[in-house]
Amino acid sequence: MTSPSILHYTQETGDFSRMLDSIPYARTIGLQCDQFGDDLIFRLPRKKENLGNPILPALHGGVIGGFMEVSAAIYLMMSQESLRMPRIVDFSLDYLRAGLDRESYAECHLTRQGNRVANVMVTAWQKSRRQPIATARAHFIMED
């Protein structure tokens, strides 16, 4: 669980290393984040442990889904300047093509922000944004 001080540090400095290190699943899969102005691009580097099918080789579907879900939660915290991890209500994932053994990326967009519920769209790709490997819709409850 990320502490308010780590989230505050990340929001002030743009350094995501402490935040990502404080989230066990993000640390396990090797999730990274780069900030370009207000935009965040999440990265999943090549990592043998993330493979589900070593014959292709291809990323495990659960790793792709987890990568996208954690990315959406972090994006929402940063875009809403929230000092708390939002709670996931629903996550709908569409796999579009195999995620091969190469670096993967994800980008998030806030599609609706209510008083207590937020919806985030996530697109994951590898070589080209025009050829996503998966898309997802995430619904979160925002904590006070």
- Could you report the per-residue pLDDT of 55-93, keeping only the tens digit for each? 989 999 999 999 999 999 999 988 876 667 789 999 999
pTM value is 0.92
Q: How confident is the model at residue 1 (pLDDT cuts 50, 70, 90)?
A: very low
What is the CATH superfamily name and number for domain 4-141? Answer: Hotdog Thioesterase (3.10.129.10)
pLDDT tens digits, 13-29:
889 999 999 999 999 99
Here the tokens at position 144 are 């006070």
CB of 22 closer than 8 Å to CB of 6: yes
* CA separation for the pair 93, 75 (Å, rounded): 17
* CA separation for the pair 117, 140 (Å, rounded): 6
pLDDT tens digits, 89-134:
999 999 999 999 999 999 999 998 877 899 999 999 999 999 999 9
- SS3 state of residue 84: coil
The radius of gyration of the chain from alpha carbons, rounded to an integer in Å, stands at: 15
Here the tokens at position 28 are 């396990």
- Confidence at residue 130, expressed as pLDDT on a 0 to 100 scale: 96
